Amino acid sequence: MTTHPVREAPVQRARYAEQVYAGVLGKIIGVYLGRPVEGWPYQDIADRFGEVGRYVNDDLGVPLIVADDDISGTLAFARVVLDNPGRTIEAADVGDTWLNYVIEDRTILWWGGMGRSTEHTAYLNLRRGIPAPRSGSIAVNGRTLAEQIGAQIFSDAFGLMHPGDPDRAVALTRTAASVSHDGDALESAGLLAAMRALAFDEPDLDRLLDAGTAYVRSPAVRRLLDDVRANCSAAHDWRDIRDWVDRHYGYARYPGPCHALSNLAMSLGALLGAGDSFPDSVMIASSVGFDTDSNAGTVGCLNGVRLGLDALSEGPDLRTPAADRLLVVTSDGGECVSDATREADRILASAATLAGDELPPPWPRFTFAYRGSVQGFTACPYHPGGDVQGTGNGLRVELGGSPEALTRHVSTPTFLDPAETSGNFSTLASPTLYPGQTLTARLSAAHDGTSVRPYCLYADGDRISTVLGEAHPLGPVPRMVTWQVPPVDGRVPFRVGFAFTGTGTEAFLHELDWRGAPERFEQSGVLLSSIWDTTPQALAPWVSSAKNFEADFAVTYSVSHPDTLGVVTTGTRDWTDYAVASRLTLSLHESAGLVVRSRGHRRFYAGVFTGGDRLRLLHQRDGERRVLAETPFPYDRDRPYAVELRCRGRDLELSVDGSTLLTGITADTLGGGTGFLVERGAVAADGVRISRLAAP
């Protein structure tokens, strides 16, 4: 029976929400376990670690929280639902979602090459005009490519959106996965989607497999299911299960790299071998070779839903190091730095949209709404820290209860932390917090005599600086604290936190929020410190799909792109009413100008100069470009023009050298980032100023 999450009774709704959170959290825990040994031969894993039941990233000198296609792809492609409200989702919609969020060779996918990586091949097919589902079909790509692993990641988010409704979970998963996969890969994804949807009400694994088998049309997948169930159980040693899977369904049995059926067999073997133990299930999936991060993420997501949130805290402590954190690396850079609570809430909103229910008003950014949720907050790694605990309705901070007043710092990332960077992972992001934005926090302390100061951390090369706000007294009655983040030489903060001082035992952060564009944020001048460093740290907040985005020798930025849709943006989706201004110098180009309300690099509004000596206001939505307004405007090459583009409510205004020359009406009032657009040419941009406008 189909459930409608928003219309359910409050107790059922809360249970469903917690199960979604547990599914997201279980997935990222599995990915973080398996990611460091992805691609390792089984014997190498066994010789080095024995079994991977703990995070081994430190042993290998890599960060724990890294970009991963199995996280980014799962959560980014699931945005198709919220990006297309009220529509029946078709494969072509998911294909457009790929083209909007993927930056070629840099985000989400395994860029293994045309004819080698099914996702890379499908993306190139989409770019060539081959629509989904043909883009991922056996007819176009052949069976070897189309049946690689990868389709199963679609079963996670889309399965979580359909509690108790396997029919729709399977249908939407197959639709989404068909962009890049076909054949037995889709059958495997459908099976897992059915199990995920049913796991909200059925914890018994055998019953889930029985029910899921009804959605399998492929004889090969049915045979695999029968074989695995007959030969894999909790009564077997997991190493014996692994050896059996390798003999009967290992990579050597199939053409090409990383076949879907090999990994389906191993994922099911891990589930059956672990029984009802969450830590054992992700340990097995991470220790056996095959596609360790993908399989452990699949297993972790299903068991998070099936076994519940408490199961994730059994055995080794896998929740505390992860701290809910994750990265969703796409062209929509302001949505990259995220956490399990935010992504669970996005899935819940998607479920409501699919059910035809009205979405609730947006929650504050940090609510710590789920048991144990910390949303990235930890003892600050750069200052004396206080231990934190998510209570389900706030963040508890331990102060130590010393007779002397001590200061304890807790913080969470708002951008990429320089201490966590690694050259092994392509990670593009924009900050979630900018100078000129105002924090609003609700805090309290167990006893009077405690004070709190908000602060931000900024990076300048190897130097980390802390900017503190004013101190505010705290007591048992919660109070609101506000602070406008100050500008620091055009840089952006990478962590936000609170410094608690007092002799008490504990303090609480109940909620934290900021929204809207900065009151004022700007970068200016020549950013180069050396002719050899064309990508100084000041460029870090910008996400570019333009071929070349660099600091310039004479102005602040140079943007060049040999094709259409060379876009560079910064900002977040809650930027709605603001103005962006820059001095643009035009040379060779087909069109060039400023972008606002960007939600990916194929969905935005823009004010541009065209090569035909015209000014235009544009709305880009996937492959469709609408001209909202235009006027003749003969302009000189190599002469700087002061350009400002304003968006306020549904009004757009484009000004050049102080004169408003074009106005237009937008199709919606959704917010998004801002930046530059150049097509088949280059533009030099001297400085940028972003400033909030009053809402209409």
Q: What are the tens digits of pLDDT across the range 41-65?
A: 999 999 999 999 999 999 999 999 9
Structural contact between residues 674 and 571, judged by C-beta atoms closer than 8 angstroms? yes
**Distance in angstroms (rounded) separating the CA atoms of residues 110 and 256:** 15
Q: Is 287 exposed, middle or buried (0-12, 13-18, 19+ CB in 10 A)?
A: buried
Residue % of the chain over a pLDDT of 90 = 91
Residues sharing a CB contact under 8 Å with residue 526, sequence separation 6 or more, in sequence order:
551, 552, 553, 554, 555, 556
Q: What are phi and psi of 333, to 5 degrees?
A: -60, -30
Higher pLDDT, 399 or 423: 399
DSSP state of 363: P
**Distance in angstroms (rounded) separating the CA atoms of residues 553 and 557:** 9
Among 677, 676, 681, CA closest to 590 = 681
pLDDT at 13: 82
Class of domain 10-327: mainly alpha
Q: What are phi and psi of 626, to 5 degrees?
A: -110, 135
Beta strands in 380-428 (DSSP E): 388-390, 395-398, 406-413
C-alpha distances out from residue 502 to 377, 378, 397, 454, 457, Å: 20, 19, 12, 15, 22
pLDDT at 658: 97
pLDDT at 7: 40
Domain 378-513: CATH superfamily, name plus number: Galactose-binding domain-like (2.60.120.260)
Sign of dihedral through CA atoms 19, 23, 28, 33? positive
**Distance in angstroms (rounded) separating the CA atoms of residues 540 and 461:** 12
* Mean pLDDT score, 550-571: 96
Q: Which of 102-111, 192-201, 283-292, 645-654 has the lowest mean pLDDT?
A: 102-111
pLDDT at 537: 87
Residues sharing a CB contact under 8 Å with residue 52, sequence separation 6 or more, in sequence order:
33, 34, 37, 45, 283, 286, 287, 292
SS3 state of residue 158: helix
* Mean pLDDT score, 512-527: 96
pLDDT at 11: 62
pLDDT tier at 648 (50, 70, 90 boundaries)? very high
pLDDT tens-digit profile of 245-262? 999 999 999 999 899 999
Higher pLDDT, 142 or 532: 142
Question: What are 8's two structure tokens?
Answer: 């359910």
pLDDT tens-digit profile of 80-97? 999 999 999 999 999 999
pLDDT tier at 426 (50, 70, 90 boundaries)? confident
For the chain, give every domain's residue range: 10-327, 378-513, 520-692
Side by side, which strands form the sheet with 395-398?
388-390, 395-398, 506-513, 438-445, 479-484
Alpha helices in 41-111 (DSSP H): 42-49, 57-60, 69-77, 80-83, 91-101
pLDDT at 107: 92
Among 417, 582, 595, 571, CA closest to 494 = 417
pLDDT tier at 118 (50, 70, 90 boundaries)? very high
pLDDT of 119 over the 70 cut: yes
**Distance in angstroms (rounded) separating the CA atoms of residues 284 and 278:** 10
pLDDT at 361: 86
pLDDT of 199 over the 90 cut: yes
Domain 520-692: CATH superfamily, name plus number: Exo-inulinase; domain 1 (2.60.120.560)
pLDDT at 1: 31
Please state, rounded to an integer, the average pLDDT across all residues of the chain. 95
pLDDT tier at 4 (50, 70, 90 boundaries)? very low
pLDDT at 8: 47
pLDDT at 377: 98
pLDDT tens-digit profile of 438-488? 999 999 999 999 999 999 999 988 899 999 999 999 999 999 999 999 999
Among 466, 525, 457, CA closest to 689 = 525
Question: Is the fold of 378-513 the same as that of 520-692?
Answer: yes
pLDDT at 587: 86
